[in-house]
Amino acid sequence: MTEAVLDQTENATRSRHSEAPLTVHPLSAHIGARIDGVDLRAPLPAAEVAAIRAALLKWKVVFFRDQHLSHEQHIAFARQFGAPTVGHPVFGHVDGFPELYSVGKHRKANRFEGQAVQRPWTGWHTDVTAAVNPPAASILRGVVIPPYGGDTQWTNLVAAYQALSEPLRGIVDGLRGVHRFTPPAGASATDEFARAVRSRALVSEHPLVRVHPETGERALYVSPSFLKHLSGFAPRESQQLLELLWEHVVRSEFTVRFKWEPGSIAFWDNRATAHLAPTDIFDLDFDRQLYRITLVGDVPVGV
């Protein structure tokens, strides 16, 4: 691209942004905000990158509407906030786009028989906490969206920590837990998903309370889907305490629910949130296709 064309593109971008200044609209008391007045298809001015980052750190997940990005534009947007990881450490990536993970209605992770016992925290998780350095953030883009159903929920793990009693905070501050990426209940030995997970096992130990590297906030780092037991505890002790904490972090006042539309984007801080993917879509005949990018994170640090 010539210098003249670059100048024209930058001028058009500045003009576009000056017409509709970026605004942040909180969606609940503790988590979630919608950001308007920004076009994510083009490189963002430094001030807008900073504003989006500040909103992300404050509200933990931010949402954008009417952002019909290509795969290339999705990747370019993500790179303004960090280095993308490979699409998924176990299930790979979209052909030709190693940064992208396809979140389709019938992706491998959903193909298993049987049904696990359902509890209030079932399905809630923080992305890939079984990795040594779990992703810092995730950016999910909606492409094919059902006319109803398929909402995603997020919870604020910082607010959940702060709501614990002082004696319990004193206990959990010093604990560590083992995170493991395992096949879901009901997966058979011949299941393709189960075989993939077993061939690329991820197991890590992390602090139960994570100190956020940018804000210094303490988050209750207890991903229900991946945290399997507390280090040094008897099995019964571990299970009782974890179930108490899992039930606590998904309390409704810590959460926000997002209704997807084509062109919607959700950008969340994976260090301070857990989220719940929808299951009602399997009771509908509509297709659903999203694409996710995760950003390289650091090794969690405890209190």
Burial of 249 from C-beta contacts in 10 A (0-12 / 13-18 / 19+):
buried
Catalytic residue (choose from 68, 71, 107, 125): 125
Encoding tokens for residue 207?
């602090």
Strand 33-36, strand 61-64: pairing: parallel
CA distances from 46 to 26, 78, 187 (A): 22, 14, 47
Residue 283 among the catalytic residues: no
Q: How many CB atoms lie within 10 A of CB 244?
A: 13
Per the CB < 8 A criterion, the answer to whether 253 and 59 are in contact is no
- Cα torsion angle, 223, 195, 109, 236, sign: negative
Catalytic residue (choose from 127, 141, 206, 248): 127
Per the CB < 8 A criterion, the answer to whether 75 and 99 are in contact is yes
Per the CB < 8 A criterion, the answer to whether 150 and 294 are in contact is no
Residue 125 among the catalytic residues: yes
Of 165, 182, 181, 180, the C-alpha closest to 231 is 180
Residue 275 among the catalytic residues: yes
Per the CB < 8 A criterion, the answer to whether 252 and 128 are in contact is no
Long-range contacts of 167-175 (CB under 8 A, 24+ apart): 169/209, 172/208, 172/209, 172/220, 172/245, 173/208, 173/209, 173/218, 173/302, 173/303, 174/302, 174/303, 175/207, 175/208, 175/209, 175/230, 175/231
Q: What distance in Å separates the CA atoms of residue 136 and residue 83, rounded to the nearest whole number? A: 10
Residue 66 among the catalytic residues: no
Catalytic residue (choose from 88, 141, 275, 288): 275
Q: Any idea which residues carry the catalytic annotation? A: 125, 127, 275, 292
